Structure 1
Amino acid sequence: MANPNTSKLRALTGGTAEPAPATQPVVRAIDVGFGLVKLSLRSGNGVAFINFPSMAIPADASAVRSLGTRRRDTFDVPVAGAKYEVGRDVGLAQAGGSFGRDVTDEFYRGAIYEALTKGALRYMAEAGDAVIDVLVLGLPVNQYNDAKRRDYLRSHYEGEVEIGDDKKITVRKVIVQAQPMGGYAALGDHLDELNRVITETGGALPPLPNAEALDELAVLMIDPGEHTLDWLLIQQGTINPRASGAASDAGRHRVLRTVQESLAAHIGRPLGPAVMPRINDALRQRAPVKLSGVAHPLERFEPEIMSVIEDSINRMVDGLRDAHEIVDLIVLVGGHPERYRDVLVKRFPAIPVFIMPEPMAANVRGFQLIGEALAEG
């Protein structure tokens, strides 16, 4: 792994920073998850972060698609001779809860991943970037550990990339990072919030005097994603590969599947895949899920949810190979990790457990910082 200079990383600011001079390289980042694609793009003279669902639907060329009061926010991008619709409004093209997704281990080299990455690049092009000097891409930990997968992404997305409607974007250099490393890179931007958690925990770790002190700690980064639970043990700014890893079928999709099965048993009829997005939204909003005009509270399934999360954390602890004994700080990134925090606090009451602000975008914000640091170097 190419390790950026951590002191330089810590000196950088986040995505709302003052823009770099025009002579500086153009750096962009994409984090393709199983649930959402997160990316950075030009916003005026600065950088903004947006996301869209990780769904790519075979494009519909019929006139019916154009009916409506507004054009939906999607693009048709080319992949291996076919076209896929991707973007923020892709749910309007969805037929069934799982159609257009790919949660296999070969995700990174499939048509869905390519369509999603090209969709992110298209958003960057529409925002004004014809050339990207440094593009940072992320992979789940278990995939990042395979050098062939990193090489594949570099070779596949460096150069001129077709992004639909006869448009192209040029990417001069691709850097691949393990997804939770992005959250670690952005951690120094939130020292005040972090120190409050450290103080409230009351363990052996004192409040940190500055962001550079993070690089003296053993920090366990945990990313409960849509399909996998990823973790990185970072010691003195460097990944410990023997104590880092991922557990498949240990993310949010397993929680949703458990709730769906329990809800179907409760109401006495099977529930198809189209119901899963509604359950997902209800869990995020801590609200009832509405099915066939009836509101079903989901609080009754909390024991089943927590059992799934506890099993996922147990698998992670096993994968740490006793390295949890040396952990100074646990940091959570990813969408809605609060229940994972609750389990970890109970399991490790003397270790501060910190949820990154805006956790869903934490990795891509950190990727942007990593890319800027490496571009300057």
Structure 2
Amino acid sequence: MAPTPTSKLREVPREQQDSAAHPAPAVRAIDVGFGLVKFSLPAEGGITFSSFPSMAIPADVSAVRSLSTRRRDTFDVPAGGAQYEVGRDVGLAQAGGSFGRDVTDEFYKGAIYEALTKGALRYMAEAGDRTIDVLVLGLPVNQYNDAKRRDHLRQTYERAVDVGDGKTIEVRKVVVQAQPMGGYAALEEHFDELNQVIQGTGGALQPLASVDELDELSVLVVDPGEHTLDWLLIQQGSINPRASGAASDAGRHRVIRAVQESLAADVGRPLGPAVAPRINEALRQQQPVKLSGVAHDLAKYEPQIMSVIEDSLNRMIDGLRDAHEIIDLIVLVGGHPGRYRDVLSRRFPAIPVFVMPESMSANVRGFQMIGEAVAEDA
């Protein structure tokens, strides 16, 4: 049975059994976000983590696809009765800025989600996996709170999964987690950095003597994603479901849309969906975006960006139902947490705001740790 929203989930094993007589169970994790799919892979002496864009393009079976100097790093996988191309180079198959994505509330049971999940499993198969003992999957907070959605994922992927080209992976157990819970589980990997932030904040919270003290705190985990802003309030190691939630259209896509609308007004012409990925990349690289041969500095749109982030965080604070009064620590995960950290630090100057190192992969790294704990207890 899957853990309920009030189960203690951060406890993870310190050691892994690894001997010829008792080989360690195969544990893998997949975090399907609206922007990237993050997943774990077997590697020499352990595991590694990788990612690819959250786009699934109907497969092109024509000969034109083979006209290239190299094979692109993608796979064709079956989903919803059709074949979809997914993988690290899927952008080469893209036709239009938003094509191949699904940001609806029902994405978890659509063909795009299925193709992306099977794409991650296909990478595992190519790395040598044939059987997975425990597979951890994630859902946004508002979807995780619906037991039917958790059950759907278990029923869909707890079986032999066809990942294309005649390859299958046997998944013996599926565990479903709220996405930010992964970041909470991974906190102990960064105990010293966390204490440095606590020390530098100067509030009531003092540096922790041990990792175990985390389970005595009220920790707010904030996950600004591509489409949603998720948050979990975790008290004494357990999720407080009444003060946890998600705000839709409160993530990176809304920031990009605000910049694109302002840029279009400045250049005096409409900008289509193909421009959005270029704006996104320019913002990440802090570089101008090039349109029709002209470079446009995006720094001038910082007020519009901060307005979107302020509004999104105001929605989160409203959703906390006054629980912000009892928060000891704020932890940020996700792909672009810097501006959110700055706003939260101004709003709550006495509460430490810790940005997880390698924040993009924080959730999937925590999922892996949770899966290992489940496997060890089995």
The number of residue pairs the alignment matches comes to 371
Report the Cα distance in structure 1 between the residues aligned to 2:250 and 2:172, rounded to whole angstroms.
Answer: 36
Q: Give 5+ residue unaligned stretches, structure 1.
A: 13-17
SS at match of 1:11: coil
Aligned residues of 1:10 and 1:211 also touching (Cα < 8 A): no
- Deviation, 1:119, is 0.3
Aligned residues of 2:17 and 2:24 also touching (Cα < 8 A): no
Question: Partner letter of residue 312 of structure 1?
Answer: S
Report the Cα distance in structure 1 between the residues aligned to 2:14 and 2:166, rounded to whole angstroms.
Answer: 40
Does the C-alpha gap of structure 1 residues 78 and 45 become closer, same or farther in structure 2, counting only changes over 3 Å? same
Question: Partner letter of residue 278 of structure 2?
Answer: R
SS at match of 1:31: strand
Report the Cα distance in structure 1 between the residues aligned to 2:79 and 2:174, rounded to whole angstroms.
Answer: 19
SS at match of 1:306: helix
- Deviation, 1:336, is 1.4
Report the Cα distance in structure 1 between the residues aligned to 2:351 and 2:18, rounded to whole angstroms.
Answer: 38
Question: Partner letter of residue 51 of structure 2?
Answer: N
Report the Cα distance in structure 2 between the residues aligned to 1:336 and 1:267, rounded to whole angstroms.
Answer: 27
Report the Cα distance in structure 1 between the residues aligned to 2:81 and 2:250, rounded to whole angstroms.
Answer: 34
Aligned residues of 1:4 and 1:374 also touching (Cα < 8 A): no
Partner of 2:223: 223
Aligned residues of 1:332 and 1:353 also touching (Cα < 8 A): yes
**Structure 1, 299-308 or 285-294: larger mean CA deviation:** 285-294
Report the Cα distance in structure 1 between the residues aligned to 2:221 and 2:374, rounded to whole angstroms.
Answer: 21
Partner of 2:340: 340
- Deviation, 1:292, is 1.1
Aligned residues of 1:10 and 1:185 also touching (Cα < 8 A): no
Report the Cα distance in structure 1 between the residues aligned to 2:44 and 2:270, rounded to whole angstroms.
Answer: 49
Report the Cα distance in structure 1 between the residues aligned to 2:351 and 2:107, rounded to whole angstroms.
Answer: 34
Aligned residues of 1:40 and 1:48 also touching (Cα < 8 A): yes
1:241 aligns with 2:257: no
Does the C-alpha gap of structure 1 residues 179 and 61 become closer, same or farther in structure 2, counting only changes over 3 Å? same
Aligned residues of 1:19 and 1:45 also touching (Cα < 8 A): no
Partner of 2:107: 107
Aligned residues of 1:19 and 1:47 also touching (Cα < 8 A): no
TM-score by length of 1: 0.96
Question: Partner letter of residue 241 of structure 1?
Answer: P
Aligned residues of 2:30 and 2:137 also touching (Cα < 8 A): yes
- Deviation, 1:68, is 1.1
Aligned residues of 1:10 and 1:212 also touching (Cα < 8 A): no
Partner of 1:318: 318
- Deviation, 1:120, is 0.4
Question: Partner letter of residue 49 of structure 1?
Answer: F
Report the Cα distance in structure 2 between the residues aligned to 1:91 and 1:50, rounded to whole angstroms.
Answer: 16
Partner of 1:193: 193
Report the Cα distance in structure 1 between the residues aligned to 2:355 and 2:80, rounded to whole angstroms.
Answer: 40
- Deviation, 1:11, is 3.1
- 1:178-200 alpha-carbon deviations (Å, 9 max, x no partner): 00000000001101111111111
Partner of 2:327: 327
- Deviation, 1:10, is 6.6
* Structure 2 counterparts to residues 289-328 of structure 1, below 5 A: 289-328=289-328
- 1:46-77 alpha-carbon deviations (Å, 9 max, x no partner): 10000000000000001111111110000000
- Deviation, 1:19, is 8.5
Partner of 2:14: 11
SS at match of 1:34: coil
Aligned residues of 2:13 and 2:376 also touching (Cα < 8 A): no
Does the C-alpha gap of structure 1 residues 4 and 66 become closer, same or farther in structure 2, counting only changes over 3 Å? farther
Partner of 2:167: 167
Report the Cα distance in structure 2 between the residues aligned to 1:274 and 1:143, rounded to whole angstroms.
Answer: 29
Partner of 1:71: 71
Aligned residues of 2:37 and 2:52 also touching (Cα < 8 A): yes
Alignment RMSD, CA only? 1.2
Aligned residues of 1:224 and 1:335 also touching (Cα < 8 A): yes
1:372 aligns with 2:375: no
- Deviation, 1:21, is 4.0
- Deviation, 1:80, is 2.7
Aligned residues of 1:4 and 1:370 also touching (Cα < 8 A): no
Instruction: Give identity over the alignment, percent.
Output: 77
Does the C-alpha gap of structure 1 residues 5 and 249 become closer, same or farther in structure 2, counting only changes over 3 Å? closer
- Deviation, 1:5, is 6.2
Partner of 1:15: none
Does the C-alpha gap of structure 1 residues 264 and 191 become closer, same or farther in structure 2, counting only changes over 3 Å? same
Report the Cα distance in structure 1 between the residues aligned to 2:80 and 2:325, rounded to whole angstroms.
Answer: 48
- 1:299-346 alpha-carbon deviations (Å, 9 max, x no partner): 100000000000000000000000000000000000011000111001
